Structure 1
């Protein structure tokens, strides 16, 4: 069933804008300062160094985002191994042009 690699699915920031609704679970895996400087409304800040301890509903799809897509890819891999249905946002916040909360 599973090979050596737990490949997570990935979508673009534009696809996230289409799929996102009030129930969408988004984890922002950047550091708290980066998160405060501007994040997707409703996204929960769970820095990559704490993702191992994340406990959420494994029946819900979880979207992970960071600044560029590298940390979220790592986070997606970790969450996938823990049994979560996880989707990485390619390009991260650099590609997001939807609403942002926080920042200047």
Structure 2
């Protein structure tokens, strides 16, 4: 019985932990390829300068995680990418806390691109 309770608690925690944050959309790299040339969107790569320099998508501007994201335009959708999707997810959460309403994370990041 204790084992079932522990498994249930762990399952609930994991569902809560990985639940999408309100206001943040997620897209696949395939979906990204369809919108990559949309001038009404701002593309941000939050990897380090070294990671960005070694391989990048030209439409993306490199703003490493921890930098000031508040200067981005709030009237455009912000598409965020990193290496695997974890740092970009953190950046998306920061953007929503700053009042951005159109924020999108690229699932899988550059590893999936």
Larger radius of gyration: 2
Change (3 A) 1:93 1:59: same
**2:57 corresponds to 1:46:** no
TM-score, L = length of structure 2: 0.75
Change (3 A) 1:33 1:74: same
Deviation at 1:22, TM superposition (A): 4.7
Contact conserved, 2:37 with 2:59, CA < 8 A, in 1?
A: no
Q: Report the equivalent of 1:70.
A: 86
- The CA deviation string for residues 72-94 of structure 1, in whole angstroms up to 9 with x for no partner, is 00000000111221100000001
Aligned residue runs from structure 1 range 19-98, under 5 A:
19-23=35-39, 24-50=41-67, 53-54=68-69, 55-84=71-100, 85-96=102-113
Q: State the distance in 2 between where 1:79 and 1:48 align.
A: 11
CA RMSD of aligned residues (A): 1.3
- Comparing 6-15 and 37-46, the one that deviates more: 6-15
Unaligned runs of 5+ in 1: 97-104
Unaligned runs of 5+ in 2: 1-20
More helix by share: 2
Contact conserved, 1:6 with 1:77, CA < 8 A, in 2?
A: no
TM-score, L = length of structure 1: 0.81
Deviation at 1:6, TM superposition (A): 3.7
